[in-house]
Structure 1
Amino acid sequence: METDKNQDPKKDHHQNQNHNQTQNTPSSDTLLVLHNNSNTIGLVQNINPDGTINHTAPNQEYSNPILKINQKEDAFTQFYSDFYHQLKNPEDFTFFKITEYEAKEIAQDLQNYIDQASVKEIDQLKDYAVSIDAVQAQLDRQNKLTQFQQSKSIQPHIKEQQYRYLPEQIDWNIMSKLNLNQEKLKYLNALEPLLKGYKTPTLIPITFNQETIKTAMDVRLSLRLNDVGYLEVRIHPVRKEPDFTTKLFGHEFTQEDRHNLLETGNMGRIVNLINPMTDELTPSVISRDRLTNELIALRAEHIRLPLVLSGVTLNDEQKKTLKEGKPLFIENMISKRGTLFNAMVQFNAEKRYVEFLFNSNIKGLQLQLQHKNLQNTIKAEVPATFRGKPLHKWQIEKLKAGETSYINGLTDSKGKKYQGYISFDKNIGKFEFSFKNPKKLGEGNKNSVVKSNGHKM
């Protein structure tokens, strides 16, 4: 490659040196400021203690360095929030975030644009400006995520839950009669929940002998100490449906109670239950075991709520709602992936903790109601025209009643006139057309069926 003989090698070396220095220097962001009253652009240098801004014009050489901001997103949001709230009159300014290396060029181009722009065009520049509302929302999200991560890391060496029972306390002879042993329960991820005092998280297949009959079924298991301190194995069989006909500790289920228990698994209110040992009335909540349909009651005094639920600190009103057994809608919770989400939550007496109501039954019910509303809408409306021809009132009335109506004066794509019979299918909301009367066709079919009655197929 030939080189330019007139090129200054010292100058070329100096330019390369500057280029390498630029490449090696970490890039930073900076701010351009638009004075809303004068429509002038400046490069921000710093902010004074009295809340005023030091800046320089785009076409001026500046001795003081311009503002440099770390390009990390979380660094900018924190900086801009602090910067904005130090300003004396922030509403007088509009700020734009750009990289420092293109700051002067962009500032000059922006000033040239503003000098010839209309008021509307200048106002539209705010779409590209830094929004304090967006920054504050991002900052709040970052703070919530930090608090959530810190709350998860508190006391990392303490076990989440101590075991209530030991494997040695379990009567393995009884377990063997159910075709279960310690290794099988471990394999099914059922042993640890049992030792912690919970039911098995899934249905466990068991088999046992009743005289000469061998019975197999899927059940949930739990462990409980009896009155003499012996650890019993409790079997929770699957019921076809909850038993609403029998009173539960004196409580008679209302229609709303049944609906809530079937749809969400939680009854949704506090009721007084009769203690079978003392006959005292005990405020309690009731839930349905979704795996077995067993109804479970828990004293309201035993309801334990977390201080923070997925990054959201529960206030007194929210705690009161949950302690009353009612569902609660919470916004701006943080998932394990760090994304914001909203959800309905409710305390579950069977699980003994606040659960998220991501329930397929609820979604199914919503879809069912939507479908029913759509069906009702379809059934209520018969279109006023068919293939471009307006229908008479008497025709619409017959169609609404589910009858067939004669129609003439129809025109096909070739301009040829034709006529026929129409009916309206309420289930799918569509017309059905036939050149012959369907009623007469039906009578003909009926006669043919009668004739073939004597023949076997």
Structure 2
Amino acid sequence: MAEGNIRGDTPKQPIRENEQLSDIILILDKMELLLQAVSKLGKDGKYETVPADKKHGNSFLKVDKYSNIVENFFKNFWSQLKDPARFGILSMKQKEMEKPENKQAIKDLAEGKQTDAVAEFLKKYEIKPKNTANEQSINSKKDEMMAKKTEGQEQQAPPADDKQPRKRYNEAMINWEQLKNFGLSKEFLQEKGLLEQMLRGYKTNQAVPITMNFGSAVLRTDARLSFQQSAAGPVVLGIHGIRQQPELDKAFFGHVFSEEDKKNLRETGNMGRVVELRLRSGEYAPSFVSLDKTTNEIVAMKVENAYIPDEIKNVKLTEQEKNDLKEGKAVYLEGMTAANGNEFNAHVQFNADRRGIEFRFETDKVFNRQILGGVELSPKQTEDLNNGRAIFVEDMVRKDGEKFSAFVKLDEASGRPAYTRYNPDSPEGAREIYVPKELNGVALNPQDREELRQGKPVFLENMVNRKGEEYSSFVKLDLETGRPSYSRTPDGFSERQEFKIPAEVWGVTLTATQRGKLQDGKAVLVEGMKGYDGKQFSQYVKANFNQGRLDYYNENPERKKDASQRNVVNQGQNQGQDKKKSQGKSVG
């Protein structure tokens, strides 16, 4: 009874959150725009993460952000990064994540968007590795300790601004109007999460479709992009087109590749040694040489600009290992720690294309990934991959959330999955290609897909381009690559439309009579046209209403060809010369 009375008489107190242990730590990859919450933290600074969403909220680690364990985490996190500007640490109360403005910012980050909400979110909660008047920090004493402990490492690192993220180019330096000539816009690059990489001086981490209209020709291709400082001063667009094979048989800045150099570049992507390259100034500089594995472009970087860390993934390097890396050699490290806390072994080597250390895993290891692009693989698919066969995986998801399907096969050199629209195991000339279920937002019916599979064009209405604009076009798939191409007519030329006769052709103003005849579909002779070489010529001209252009002929296309027929065009062109000859004879 007494016990019951005590329970009944004791008022229930609301459970209060320990304010000292209520902070959560978030880690943001600013290049991938990936936000993760720390779920586990060790005394040695090692940590594990989970997605920063409501579903995983119970797994978030709540800490006192002023504790020694958290300080060690901050110290180890920044000191181990070769590119500190890429990552950010945020600290906040978990309940603050439910604020509308913060939920919107986290949603934008998950979609790869860089919005005002994201900027405000980072400004409010991000913790910087250095203490400045305008930056949020844990406290000045701990920041001073961190600065002193990492001072030696920062002196070895490449020079950088204190602001994050570091940018090599300002947006105001970019001629955005010129980028429209390539089918690109600032908004498109932002939505794809590529603009930040380019402003920092890097190439995009993926190939981007671009269109170049030269007037007389239109080029559509995929390429990695970058911003580059031109010799004349302005910042221009660097287009790193995809090559079928690297040009290893040509001299590269004065260096002739040996057979061993070629073998190393093809198999590992790195040449494996440092060579003297002749700069544009005429001087020679020791340089790393690597291959861009996406475009097959040869890339070089001066050794003096390379940063070799003292420690990689919690493994301290010996002097010999650091020297080997400086010489371009690969070093095998055991017991490295991944972000999820698991240990792994790999070769590490400096890569000129990445401008930093890359990890290379043994190609003879069994492919044991169970998921590709969010799609779970069957045991048979995994077996086929390990046996060197291609598999087809449907409805994978890219980093930007876009779904795609592709044939997948392990690359022989790198052991990594390679994705193609065609089955690489099928023979050339009889390729098996993937026909998508939809194109640019328009679902394809069975008949459309079958005609595309046969290489026939189909007409699709109300497709949506990258700018969100609707358009209609004929579509046809390349039977060798599976890549779609678009045209306004079934035969690949301009869309058939009402063609207006121009007022002038090749410097000659057409008379009303000539324009009337052309509009009626008749051929007319136009004399005195001026070519690129400045010389005059004459041609018959006729409107081609199907193709929306003028066609040119040496002879009247409306007359039957006859052996006795005079070449009126040639007569007109030579008339002046004959007249001059006759005048010359009379004078003589």
| Structure label with greater radius of gyration | 1
Greater relative CO (CA pairs within 8 A, separation 6+): 1
What TM-score do the two structures reach when normalised by structure 2? Answer: 0.36
Per the normalisation by structure 1, the TM-score is: 0.46
Looking at secondary structure, tell me which structure has more helix per residue. Answer: 1
